[in-house]
Amino acid sequence: MKMDESLAAFQALILQMYRKVKTMHELALDILRSGDKEKALQLIYMDDFVNHLEEEINDQAQTVLALLSPVATDLRKVIAGIKIASDLERIGDYAKNIADYVIKKGPAEPPFVGEQAEAIGRLFLAMLDAAMDAYQKEDVAQAYRIPQQDEQINDQFAELSGQIETAVMQGMQMEHVVPLVAMLRNFERAGDHTKNICEHLIYQVKGQHIDFG
């Protein structure tokens, strides 16, 4: 197999992994509203598939490196791809964490939490879509713009945390608050890993190491 064909197959696996992770987070938003434990279990099984895809991507990368002796630009595509797959795997884990919460606790309560969580989740999904679109197009300018979206996620999370604090002062039981806030933080962390994807793309195209913080 030629280098171009090998890299195309490698990147196709990364895009397949992205689509599966996106589906997991869409399902996570669904079960946060509904509390559907069967769907939560389906999501957990999907995480196993994502983990398998990461292993397949790593195996493909080893094949490219061992057999095809890539030049510098192609080598960066392999290195960046491995790192992107690792971040996608972590993003999938965050969806799984939400499923675990639903299985143990049911839907997000009180209702305003579920509504705000969905808004934050939609912001994250838009950010992930934009990052992977930039990856497909090798669009560095877009990769630089995307981290600004993470600030919106952080702002919304801070606002929701304040609302939860107010609810506690009005009688919400603390025993529900800690796992609830921990669950919601999965969206914030997923956004952080999406910023990493942008960093890896910039390295892939420009050979520059960027830290968006």
List the one residue out of 184, 185, 182, 181 whose CA is nearest residue 172: 181
Which tens digits make up the pLDDT trace of 62-118?
A: 988 887 777 888 999 999 999 999 999 999 999 999 999 999 999 988 888 888 999
Residues 6+ apart with CB under 8 A from 59: none
Cα–Cα distance measured from residue 211 to residue 200, given in angstroms and rounded to the nearest whole number? 10
Superfamily of domain 3-206: Phosphate transport system protein phou homolog 2; domain 2 (1.20.58.220)
> For 95-117, b where at least 16 C-beta lie within 10 A, e where not — what string?
bbbbbbbbbeeebbeeeebbebb
Which sequence spans correspond to the domains of the chain?
Answer: 3-206
Cα–Cα distance measured from residue 107 to residue 138, given in angstroms and rounded to the nearest whole number? 39
Q: Would the pLDDT of 174 be above 80?
A: no
Whether 64 contacts 70, CB under 8 Å: yes
> For 22-37, b where at least 16 C-beta lie within 10 A, e where not — what string?
bebbebbbbbbeebbe
Cα–Cα distance measured from residue 198 to residue 133, given in angstroms and rounded to the nearest whole number? 10
More confident position, 174 or 17: 17
The DSSP output letter for 213 is -
Q: Where are the alpha helices (DSSP H) in 68-173?
A: 72-105, 111-137, 140-145, 147-169
The 10 Å Cβ neighbour count of residue 83 is 17
Confidence (pTM)? 0.94
Average pLDDT, the chain: 93
The 10 Å Cβ neighbour count of residue 66 is 8
Cα–Cα distance measured from residue 185 to residue 63, given in angstroms and rounded to the nearest whole number? 37
List the one residue out of 53, 11, 20 whose CA is nearest residue 138: 11
Three-state SS annotation for 157-206 = HHHHHHHHHHHHHCCCCHHHHHHHHHHHHHHHHHHHHHHHHHHHHHHHHH
In this prediction, residue 20 has a pLDDT band, given cuts at 50, 70 and 90, of: very high
pLDDT at residue 66 in the model: 84
Whether 14 contacts 57, CB under 8 Å: yes
Record the tokens describing residue 64, joined without a space.
């490219």
